[in-house]
Chains A and B, each alone.
Chain A
Amino acid sequence: MLTKELLKFSIRSGRIRPAFVPEEGDILERARGLIDLFRQAEGQSLGELEELLDETCGTGDVEAGLRKLLLDRCGAEEDDGSVMERRWQALAAAQALRLGEPGLDEASFRGRLAATLGRGFVELKEDLYADLPACRRIKGFRELSAVSLLQRYNCAQVQGLLLRARSVHVRLAQASLAERRELFRQLKFHRLIAEVTRDEGEGRALVVELGGPLSLFDSAATYGMRLANFFPHVLNLPRWEVEAEVHIKNKTVTLKLDQKSGLKSHYRHQTPFVPDELLAFVEAFNTRQAGVWQASPGTEFVHLGRESYCFPDITIRDQKKRKIHIELFHRWHAGTLRGRIQTLEKIGFSELRLGVSKNLAKTAELKMLLEESAWFARFGFIFSEFPTPKLIFGVLDRE
């Protein structure tokens, strides 16, 4: 992530435009040069590397940003505490000398101290604070290509602005079902509050409004950090638009970007995944219930009031378009299940059916929670590996 002073942008007519760098030409060469220096830096101190960079590289704003991103990829040696031990010996000896002979001039003091400690004064002086961060030796550098560095730089320019965003509006077109599910999973993982709708235009793109309770009142640093960390996931989608309201330099300005900006994500693009058993379930259910109920993999948020929302695994519609959502909890979902049951107990939401795997339901604490929940008694069910169409059909008509 880049600090505020490393963000480069222009503001005109209420719109902020990050100053992206091209991934070619002179700047690519300079990025290569910088990476070479970092690659050869193993064994040098961080201070020495900084000095070398000052001498050999430009002092331009872009270089400063690239240097910051590269420094974040350096590992430094931990010292073993021996410098500190020598320091305390030297400090004790120096104090004893000062107290014992208060009238000593500087030169005599240095000579006497060096003699007492059996080392030259210059050596003693250099060793005294050799464990400071700037003196720590670099022991590793996480490699990346020059192009990748420039891509990260451009992405970091946007992330730095999103740290200061009050609201973010993301429009996604042509995202596959699996891509949408992956995006929702990431929203949930980053604990972002979102409202998802479909717009009325061509292709009915998905519109995600991001903003948390605090964003209603003020921009909050922790929320901004989550938002910034989430952003590279958006870049992995085929067509996206981001519009954010950013507060910077005492102004509120608009940031608008889309896939044409050429930004690349440095998050690994995992092939989005819809579990086979889910697809098999949908097919089997629709075959059996043809004409009555229609099942599909869940693609939307369901608001449960306050900040609670869920992403159902399956949505089932009847002929009148009435929707029942199915959310499944497997054995690694204990924490979420506890919170979900508490919320549902309070709000009594009847359009959701909640399935809990046997493995999860048999733990003592959750067993009691489920037994005591009136909501779960009406709308919940237990399944083994994956719910069968018959099991789901049996819970649809509960009211």
Chain B
Amino acid sequence: MEELKQQLAEILTPDRKDRSQLIPILQQIQGKLGYLSPEAMLAVAEFVEIPGSTVYGIATFYNQFRFTPLGKHPVKVCMGTACHLAGGKLVLEAMARELDIEVSGITPDHDFSLDRVACIGCCALAPVVVIDDSVYPRMTPPKVEEVLVSVKPASQEQSEKQ
């Protein structure tokens, strides 16, 4: 809680105590924390003096805001038109199954988070998945496991477990 307060202190400066600042503030917090936590949103609500429900209502209105933290390796599955036609949905489902989380979710160890995104501009390589900053072209469901292991080798997982 104290840590959050410190992180927010730089963003919630007295000159921004106005509800017109709400969305820029939320964007900056997401930029800093990677997502909007209930605690952060409540702090913003208190700061700009509007109800918590209103902040939540506004934040959920926009697709740009996320309410779960990003994983160490954020997985983005493209669902733009080209990727969608090339079977992006199957890739997304396979990814969710493999990671055992829902779309917009995060694994319990916070290694991976899974999101669907609109076009990322690699239509020629469709369907694509982006993990960290690498683009994985021409994805298929069987390739999902392989890609995930390449990002975080099983051995590493093993050693971590021990």
Are A and B subunits of one complex? no
Task: Identify the A interface with B (CB < 8 A).
Answer: none
- B residues near A (Cβ < 8 Å) are none
